[in-house]
Every structure is written in C-alpha cells, then in structure tokens.
Amino acid sequence: MSAKKTARGTDVRAWQRMLSGRRLDLLDPSPLDIEIADIAHGLARVARWNGQTTGAHIFSVAQHTLLVETVLRQEIPRADQRLRLAALLHDAPEYVIGDMISPFKAVLDGHYKAVEKRLLGAIHIRFGLPPALPDEITHAIKAADRGAAYLEATELAGFSDAEAKRLFGRDPGLSDSVRRDYLTPWTAARAEKQFLERFGAVFA
C-alpha cells in the first residue's frame, strides 16, 4: 500500500479500507480493490450541493447518477449498455473522495482532478470500460450531467430558472412523474438499493 511523505518526512496512509474489506490505494488504485457494493454504499451517503438542498434527506450522489442516466436515455433513446454504464459510474470516484462543489475544485486546481482521473480509470477497467472514454461519450454524459444539475438546482438547491440556465444549460424536459420521483430525495438505503439494481440492469 502506498504512503505519502509529509513535510516532516513521516509517512501518512494513502489508502482507505472499505466495508467489503478491500483497501483502496488513492495513489495507485487497483481495479481489483474496487467493488460495486462499496461504490453504491458510499455514493448513497455522499450529499450533492454540499447538503444545501431541500427535503428530509440529503440528495445523494447515487440518486444523482441515476438521474443522469435517466436524462441520458431520454436524450439518446438507443444508448447502448456501455454508454449507460459509463453514465451511471461518471461520479463513482466520489465514493472515496466525496463530492466537492465546483468552486472548491477550482480552488484546488489540478490536484483533485488527477486523483479523480486515476480512480475513474481504475473503476472503468474493473467494469469493462476503457480507462479514458471516447470524446463523444464523455460529451454525451456531460450534457446529461448538466441537465440533471439544472433540475437539481431549480427543484432542490434554490436556484432561479435564469441562473440555472446560465450555469447549466437547458431543462432536459423529463415527464412530471419521473421528475417528481427522481427529485424527491431518497433515504440512503433506497438510493443504494436502486443504484445496485440499475447497475445490475446495465452491467451484463
């Protein structure tokens, strides 16, 4: 397992122990140490928008990824399973590093992105995706992500329609029933369960 030297020359731990018993090294993550159960459990307990959302529960990253995959399927009705899987896993590194809001990522500059990229590459390999996705897939997922962010911003995080449009683009136009379900914050248990169910449907 990797260790990192502090300014005083002492070693600090650079891995996290998961509930599965795996020890995931953040400096050199191995696909063999990645389990979907750990991802689902962690993402269901990580809050989007730093927790600044309405509702009795946090709006979790797990629920967000399900919303993104739903928006993607609406935008690309014939999206194949690999594209849907990539969408579902697009924020998977956050089960280890949390969901840092965009302004804080800007403060950290490139360091956060380097760790995130290494983790996502290992996650992709673990589940049969290329470490780096083709540009057209990345762009499609990013568009769905922005559509989901628009909905979350206006429905849960107190943004005006005009502000959300300026920051995230357009409303993806989900049906009222889908919008109502996916934008009502779920319990962690439900978010974890539904994430695993959707994963099972797209990972074949």
Reported as a single tens digit per residue, the pLDDT across 150-196 is 999 999 999 999 999 999 999 999 999 999 999 999 999 999 999 99
Q: What is the CA radius of gyration of the chain?
A: 17
> What CA–CA distance (Å, rounded) separates 88 from 115?
19
Evaluate if residue 108 carries a pLDDT over 80.
no
Q: Which residues in 32-70 are b (16+ Cβ under 10 Å) and which e?
A: ebbbbebbbbbbbebbbbeeebeeeebbbbbbbbbbbbb
Q: What is the pTM of this model?
A: 0.90
Q: How confident is the model at residue 99 (pLDDT cuts 50, 70, 90)?
A: confident
Q: Are the beta carbons of 192 and 41 closer than 8 angstroms?
A: yes
> What CA–CA distance (Å, rounded) separates 61 from 52?
13
> What CA–CA distance (Å, rounded) separates 150 from 174?
12
Q: What are phi and psi of 83, to 5 degrees?
A: -65, -40
| Mean of the per-residue pLDDT values of the chain | 91
Evaluate if residue 2 carries a pLDDT over 90.
no
pLDDT for residue 8? 46
Give 50's contacts (C-beta < 8 A, 6+ positions apart): 99, 101
Q: Where are the beta strands (DSSP E) in the chain?
A: 3-5, 11-13, 15-17, 23-25
Q: Which of 7-11, 14-18, 106-110, 115-119 has the lowest mean pLDDT?
A: 7-11
